[in-house]
Amino acid sequence: MNGKRILAFGAHPDDIEFGCGALLLDVAERGAHLDLAVLSRGEAGTHGDRSKREDEARQAAEMLGAEIHFPSTAGDTRIRADLDTTLLAAKMIRRLRPNLILAPTGHLNQHPDHRETSRIVRDGHRLARYGKTPGLEDLDPHAVEALLFYDISSEALGTDGLTPILVDVSPQVEKWKTLMQCHSSQTSNLDYTDLQLSRARTLGIQMGVGSALRLYSEGPLIVASSADLSSLRSPRL
């Protein structure tokens, strides 16, 4: 991961930290550069306001050592996978040139902004690599090494059509808890932190480790060489 660029997309200021924060803490320790793209400021949420939630997101980004971006979209509850927003994501991918992209899963049984963000990123990462995409002529095409998806608040249908990947995040659990608590407007009203930690513990039991994070790929991933196989192991189901 040393020198790699990771670009994580989220619909709301807390999505990335709750969904894949443990992974980001781990790759940051291993020398990766992190960019966070948050497509709203949580301005329609029940708890907190636009200013408070943006401040919380910036605090979390500082803990991760990440650069945070707030692309101009229609905002909380209004995010839609239209052409303009998809091109916005594609432009960001071309400009930042990440090796790996992370986005929410796109299953239907969740906040519609999560679902729409998943589609925006999925389509945007394809448009970013097409050489003559209209509207992207000023930026060189860029193909990422992998696009992976993460769960946020619900796993219902989360694996539909996707290939699951379990990652041991046991060493990051305490830091992950602190990272999630940066979003105090959310964690003080609903126990989102325990939801994520409980899910990670359950997945960890399946792997025979303390805690695990589940990511998803749209298809099989390629292992660069047989040497990389030495770090793989099967879940203890």
- pLDDT one digit per residue (tens) for the chain, 237 residues: 889 999 999 999 999 999 999 999 999 999 999 999 999 998 888 887 989 999 999 999 999 999 999 999 999 999 999 999 999 999 999 999 999 999 999 988 889 999 999 999 999 999 999 999 999 999 999 999 999 999 987 655 455 688 999 999 999 999 999 999 999 998 887 788 998 999 999 999 988 999 999 999 998 888 888 888 888 877 776
pLDDT for the residue 206: 87
At 233 the pLDDT is 79
For residue 143, the tally of other CB atoms under 10 A from its CB is 11
The CA distance from 4 to 187, in Å, is 31
**CB–CB of 102/137 below 8 Å?**
no
Domains of the chain: residue spans and CATH = 5-231 (3.40.50.10320)
What is the spatial distance between Cα 195 and Cα 187, in angstroms, rounded to a whole number? 10
Neighbours of 190 (CB within 10 A): 12
Token representation of residue 40: 């709203």
pLDDT of residue 29: 96
Tell me how far CA of residue 70 lies from CA of 14, 57, 188, 231, in angstroms.
13, 10, 24, 36
**In this structure, which amino acid lies at residue 41?**
R
Cα Rg for the chain, rounded, in angstroms? Answer: 17
pLDDT of residue 155: 58
Cα 5 from Cα 35, distance rounded (Å): 8
| Closest alpha carbon to 182 in 40, 25, 77, 1 | 25
**Closest of 31, 35, 44, 43 to residue 16, by C-alpha:** 35
The answer to whether 183 touches 21, Cβ cutoff 8 Å, is no
H-helix or E-strand spanning residue 91 = helix 83-96
Please, what is the end-to-end C-alpha distance for the chain in angstroms? 29
